[in-house]
Structure 1
């Protein structure tokens, strides 16, 4: 997937990226200092999560990064 990625200039921590899809921004949640006002719509890259972390909130999960069609479908479902 082509996208523009942004990193913290001091420590190189990934912050977000803009997939090649108008109006879509993907944040790295662990880069945020404060709590979110909304719950996530999906859990991405769960194949790389810690083995002790259980994700059981009913939110869609993707082993790897989903393709643009899957992201578009999630977005449309979320904003209905």
Structure 2
């Protein structure tokens, strides 16, 4: 009987008021939730196993910057892409 009273006091499943309720939605909007793309081959292929995680992350950052530069048209007359860091 005491457990039932406690459950009714706390909510329908007994833990409603005990859970932490987030006040911010992290998965909405491009500005709030951005990410870097890391090619899967850098993880899976044996030829890249010797690369450090830092090197793989740096590659992902440069890849992101190159795509932004292409989007903005920062390409010279020879087709070389410029990036700004």
- Indicate the TM-score class for this superposition, using the shorter chain for normalisation: under 0.3
Relative to total residues, which structure has the larger helix share, 1 or 2?
2
Rg (Cα) greater in structure: 2
Higher RCO (CA-CA < 8 Å; seq separation 6+): 1
Q: Which has the higher strand share?
A: 1
- TM-score, normalisation: structure 1: 0.23
TM-score (norm 2): 0.22
